Amino acid sequence: MAVYKYRARTNEGRMTSGAVEALSQNDAADLLSERGLIVLSLIETKARKSRGLNINLGSVKSKDLVIFSRQLSVMISATVPVVQSLRILSQQTTNPIFISKITEMADDVDGGMRLSDAMAKHKKIFSHFFVAMVKSGETSGKLDEILQYLADQMEKDYDLISKVKSAMIYPTFIVGGMIVVGFLMMTFVVPKMTQMLEETGAELPLLTRILIGASGFMEHYWYVVLFGLAGLIVLLKFLLRSKTGKLTWDMVKIQMPIFGSLFQKIYIVRFTRSLSTLIRGGVPIASALTITAEVVDNRAYEKLILETVDEVEGGNSIATLFVKSPIMPKMLAQMMVIGERTGKLDTVLERLSDFYGREIDNLVGGLTSLIEPLILIVMGVGVGGMVAAIMLPMFKVAQNIS
């Protein structure tokens, strides 16, 4: 980011001078032209210094961003200047991190920067998708409509994520509790009970011997189990950071039984909703696909979408590769072809997004109903096996005594 000193003349012929901040000299000239100034000279001075230390004391939640977009949209539609709107929002926001970022954006816009460029400086808050949509709104003069539309889309994404998380809370809690209770049982309770069985001198069943061996190992080498689990988690995180590891894991997610179909539909909804929004905002197809590839957050789909960009730039249909891909539903590819031919691709994508959104709702409801009995079965088998391993030799001893 650089600061440019300018001398210019207004439409009334009055001379004026000042400084403007922009990414390039052309951007600076465009900003001044938008203000109704005729540029006479434009000289770059120096890069603007960052304000203080960039310390991250928290995070900006999706809810904060939705409220910000909706309120900014209302104020812009009411012809309140962008700088003044941002100043007002900085006073109404409760998140201290977001307050500092909004204030910084207000200063940047007041210095002559576009709102989209000011947002682009805060990549952890405003995604590439969000910035591209705001930029298209500035270009088309429909910034208030774009911000309102973004708020609606973010609310839909938030609702989708919330539904999936809610469906996973119960099984995660139960499985976590089973692991903790099982570990405590095998470490402290089972050793005392098996000691009594060993003292009888009776021949123990295979199931009991397996239980005693596992319990003995966990009793004496519990730290090995804990360190082994910690090491496995670190190794998995390291592998997932690599391109090959992330691609492999993302492919596994959409192909795994039970949950694979859910993950696949989540990524498809992200793809269709984001691409529809960008096309409706006037973003070119190739650029919209590139941005959407980042939004989807799955390397398998990202790879397919980026390959589609090359197809589109080569003059081919957007659905050329989708038709052949096993990770894209045939209906999606066929509907996109129809949308492309009729010139209503954004509308078709929006309807596909709604359709797969309803599919996700049905899947989440079905999974919740399916997971509960599965967990009960696993718990029954685990507890039953442990009880059988302890009780069988006791029955045998009792029969020998009688």
User: What is the tens place of the pLDDT at every residue in 344-386?
Assistant: 898 999 899 889 888 888 887 777 677 777 777 877 887 787 7
Contacts of 389 (CB under 8 A, 6+ apart): 205, 207, 208, 210, 211
Strand partners, 4: 20, 44
Is pLDDT above 70 for 288? yes
Top-confidence residue, 209 or 325: 325
Instruction: Please state, in angstroms and rounded to a whole number, the distance separating the CA atoms of residues 152 and 237.
Output: 33
Under the banding of pLDDT at 50, 70 and 90, the label for residue 6 is confident
pLDDT at residue 197, as a whole number: 66
Please give the residue that has the higher pLDDT: either 259 or 65: 65
Q: Which fold has domain 2-47?
A: Ubiquitin-like (UB roll) (3.10.20)
The burial of 270, by beta-carbon neighbours within 10 Å (0-12 exposed, 13-18 middle, 19 or more buried), is given as: buried
Name which of 50-64, 104-118, 296-310 the model is least confident about. 50-64
57: confidence class by pLDDT, cuts 50, 70, 90: very low
Q: In what order do the strands lie in the sheet with 37-47?
A: 15-22, 2-10, 37-47
The answer to whether residues 89 and 80 touch, using CB atoms and an 8 Å cutoff, is: no
Between 119-133, 160-174, 249-263, the lowest mean confidence (pLDDT) is in 160-174
Give the whole-angstrom CA distance, residue 155 versus residue 300.
Answer: 26
pLDDT at 143 over 80: yes
Q: What pLDDT is recorded for position 188? A: 73
Q: Which of 111-115, 172-176, 305-309 has the lowest mean pLDDT?
A: 172-176
The candidate with the shortest Cα–Cα distance to 51, out of 105, 125, 113, is 105
* Dihedral sign (CA 318, 324, 329, 331): positive
* 3-class secondary-structure state, position 114: coil
In angstroms, the Cα distances linking 193 to 157, 161, 202, 230 are 52, 46, 14, 29
What was the pLDDT predicted at 51? 38
Domain 140-402 classified CATH 1.20.81.30? yes
Cα–Cα distance, 366 to 379 (Å, whole number): 20
Task: Show me where the domains of the chain are located.
Answer: 2-47, 62-126, 140-402
Average pLDDT score, the chain = 80
Residue 222: pLDDT over 60? yes
Question: How many CA atoms does the CB half-sphere of 16 hold within 13 Å?
Answer: 15
Residues linked to residue 8 through DSSP beta bridges, in sequence order = 16, 39
Helices (H), 185-221: 190-199, 206-220
Neighbours of 26 (CB within 10 A): 10
Asked whether residue 260 carries a pLDDT value surpassing 70, the answer given is: yes
* Reported pTM: 0.62
- pLDDT bucket at 22, cuts 50 / 70 / 90: low
For the stretch 345-354, what's the b/e string if a residue is b when 16 or more beta carbons lie within 10 angstroms of its beta carbon? Answer: bbebbbebbe
Tokens of 380: 């029954």
Length of the chain as a residue count: 402
Instruction: Name the residue type at position 102.
Output: I
pLDDT value for 48: 43
Residue with tokens 């179909």: 261
| Range of lowest pLDDT (152-156, 251-255, 320-324) | 152-156
Q: What is the pLDDT of residue 3?
A: 66
Q: Which pair of structure tokens corresponds to residue 151?
A: 């708020």
pLDDT in tens, 75-118: 988 888 888 889 888 888 878 888 888 888 888 888 888 888 88
Which residue type, as a one-letter code, is found at position 381? V
| CA separation for the pair 151, 156 (Å, rounded) | 9
